[in-house]
């Protein structure tokens, strides 16, 4: 099967598609508000260390699993550990990707609404209170958000149905360079604003007194989330790598570019926020409430708003494509149905979850799970439980189940490329990474806080 499996067509395609897999709303939406809420530069410093010491090794490991098996996220573990229960890791990844797509598609749809509002002039002449009220009214509406969710799922579906080369790779070659160009343009505009230096100081000059255990664990969690670790995306994409792809170099390049996008998002946002005297701790609403208020105060603010939300939509689309591919590849291969039929099945299921997630802000707001609306419950279940748990089990699986000779042979392309710190990497994956990710799990689920309260 591995000889007949479709692969990415070029090295550039591998890099851009995989960067697109990692880069998404986590970089441009989640990272800035996490940084703003956790001490600015202090959080950034810890985040970069976590990316290097935790994110990069685990990404290499997921690449190993994907290319060595040449299967989808669930099928990979069936190939590598047949007749065992290790396949539950893969099922966890596939389900996590599907559930994340269920609420991500709603947020993605919001970006299209704001693009339309920017071009129509609806974002002009409003106060901060107006932006907040408008966002609340829109997100709780019973129809408009669902229409945009449907549109975004349809866009994703079209690319997925087109296949790995003609769909995912081709779209990535267009979207990723465009994303970088728009991001850089917005950064240049932001740093030329009055008092922009205060924002850059907040972003790059760390106050080490703000580094607490909570900041460290939050940074570890964000590193994990940003690189799309534990949700099956990296395993699935790596299954399309050619045998001569350098997994180490690819992982390093993807990690650098993904981190660059996150840092540039900070450069884009914080100088503008400080320039207009807005608190950097705005939280998740930073993108949809605070930033439109910032753009409103700029010359040609409607244009900058439109450009920004186009950027956000591109980032969202790269995310939804990779998440959709995880589930589509699973259905296609494990149930032996055509790729098109598998994609239709996934899109239909995602639409159902998307509709419920959207309605949970309005008509279904009273129906909660553990005190959370359906949208927040999906976010909590996946980001705080399924992803760190899946990542931890992947490390344990490779560290305890896989023969080191097999691992080294795959990561060195049968000895044709060096892996200078292989023994350190193998030790790290077996002993250090599972503990570190376990701490993320305990922190994100709130268990560490509860344990501290008990003592």
Full set of structural domains in the chain with CATH: 11-454 (1.10.4160.10)
State the helix-helix crossing angle for 56-69 and 387-400, rounded to 10 degrees: 70
Strand 368-369 versus strand 372-373 pairing type: antiparallel
Contact status, residue 407 vs residue 399, Cβ threshold 8 Å: no
Q: Which residues of the chain have pLDDT under 50?
A: 1-3
pLDDT of res. 407: 94
CA atoms of 211 and 433, how far apart (whole Å): 21
pTM, to two decimals: 0.89
Let me know: does 31 contact 230? Beta carbons within 8 Å: no
Q: Which residues of 378-401 are buried (b: 16+ CB within 10 A; e: fewer)?
A: bbbbbbbebbbbbbbbbbbbbbee
Handedness of CA 292, 298, 303, 309 (dihedral sign): negative
* Residue 54 DSSP code: I
Per-residue pLDDT reduced to its tens digit, 330-369: 999 999 999 999 999 999 999 999 999 999 999 999 999 9
Q: What are the residue ranges of helices labelled H in 239-386?
A: 247-275, 290-296, 301-334, 339-359, 374-379
8 Å CB contact between 394 and 355: no
pLDDT of residue 238: 92
Q: Are 428 and 57 in contact, with CB atoms under 8 Å apart? A: yes
How far is 27 from 223, CA to CA, in rounded Å? 10
- The DSSP secondary-structure symbol of 208 reads G
Q: Please give the pLDDT value at position 285.
A: 66
Do 138 and 325 form a contact (C-beta atoms < 8 A)? no
- Between helix 247-275 and helix 56-69 the angle, nearest 10°, is 140
Place of tokens 């009273």: 366
Alpha carbons 6 and 419: distance in angstroms, whole number: 27
Q: What does residue 226 show for φ and ψ, rounded to 5 degrees? A: -65, -40
Residues 100 and 320: their CA atoms lie apart, in Å, by 9
Q: Which residue has the tokens 């001569």?
A: 244
Pick from 94, 96, 97, 67: which is nearest to 79 by CA? 67
Do 68 and 241 touch, CB atoms closer than 8 A? no
Two tokens at 385?
Answer: 């439980």
Distance CA 430, CA 75 (A): 23
At 372 the three-state DSSP class reads: strand
For residue 2, the model assigns a pLDDT of: 39
124 secondary structure, DSSP code: T
Cα Rg for the chain, rounded, in angstroms? Answer: 21
Question: Please, are residues 256 and 59 in contact by the beta-carbon 8 Å criterion?
Answer: no
- Compute the distance between CA of residue 168 and CA of residue 14 in angstroms, rounded to an integer: 10
Q: Which residues of 67-78 are buried (b: 16+ CB within 10 A; e: fewer)?
A: bbbbbbbbbbbb
Per the structure block, which two tokens stand in for 425? 């990497």
- Specify the pLDDT at position 1: 37
pLDDT of residue 223: 85
């Amino acid at each position: 099967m591995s000889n007949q499996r479709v692969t990415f067509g070029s090295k550039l395609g591998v890099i851009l598609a995989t960067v697109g897999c990692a880069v998404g709303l986590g970089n441009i939406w989640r990272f800035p508000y996490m940084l703003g809420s956790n001490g600015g530069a202090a959080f950034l410093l810890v985040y970069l260390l976590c990316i290097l010491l935790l994110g990069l090794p685990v990404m290499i490991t997921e690449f190993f699993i994907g290319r060595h098996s040449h299967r989808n996220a669930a099928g990979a573990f069936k190939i590598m550990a047949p007749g065992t229960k290790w396949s539950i890791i893969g099922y966890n990844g596939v389900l996590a990707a599907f559930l994340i797509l269920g609420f991500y598609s709603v947020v993605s749809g919001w970006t299209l609404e704001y693009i339309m509002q920017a071009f129509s002039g609806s974002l002009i002449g409003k106060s901060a209170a107006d932006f907040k009220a408008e966002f609340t009214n829109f997100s709780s509406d019973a129809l408009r958000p669902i229409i945009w969710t449907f549109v975004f799922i349809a866009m994703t579906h079209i690319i997925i149905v087109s296949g790995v080369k003609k769909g995912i790779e081709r779209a990535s070659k267009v979207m990723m360079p465009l994303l970088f160009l728009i991001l850089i343009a917005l950064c240049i505009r932001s740093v030329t604003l009055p008092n922009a230096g205060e924002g850059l100081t907040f972003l790059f000059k760390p106050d080490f007194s703000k580094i607490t255990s909570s900041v460290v664990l939050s940074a570890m969690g964000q590193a994990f989330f940003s690189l799309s670790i534990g949700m099956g995306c990296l395993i699935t994409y790596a299954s399309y790598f050619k045998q001569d792809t350098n997994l180490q170099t690819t992982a390093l390049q993807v990690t650098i570019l993904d981190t660059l996008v996150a840092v540039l998002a900070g450069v884009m946002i914080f100088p503008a926020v400080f320039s207009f005297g807005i608190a950097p701790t705005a939280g998740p609403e930073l993108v949809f409430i605070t930033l439109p208020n910032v753009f409103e105060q700029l010359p040609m603010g409607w244009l900058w708003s439109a450009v920004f939300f186009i950027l956000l939509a591109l980032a969202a689309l790269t995310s939804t494509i990779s998440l959709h591919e995880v589930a589509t590849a699973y259905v296609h291969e494990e149930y032996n149905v055509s790729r098109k039929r598998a994609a239709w099945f996934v899109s239909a299921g995602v639409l159902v979850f998307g509709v419920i997630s959207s309605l949970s802000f309005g008509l279904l707001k009273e129906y909660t799970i553990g005190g959370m609306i359906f949208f927040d419950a999906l976010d909590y279940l996946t980001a705080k439980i399924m992803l760190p748990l899946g990542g931890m089990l992947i490390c344990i699986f490779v560290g305890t189940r896989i023969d080191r000779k097999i691992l080294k042979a795959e990561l060195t392309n049968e000895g044709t490329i060096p892996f200078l710190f292989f023994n350190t990497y193998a030790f790290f994956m077996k002993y250090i990474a599972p503990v570190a990710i376990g701490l993320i799990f305990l922190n994100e689920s709130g268990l560490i806080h509860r344990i501290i309260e008990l003592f």
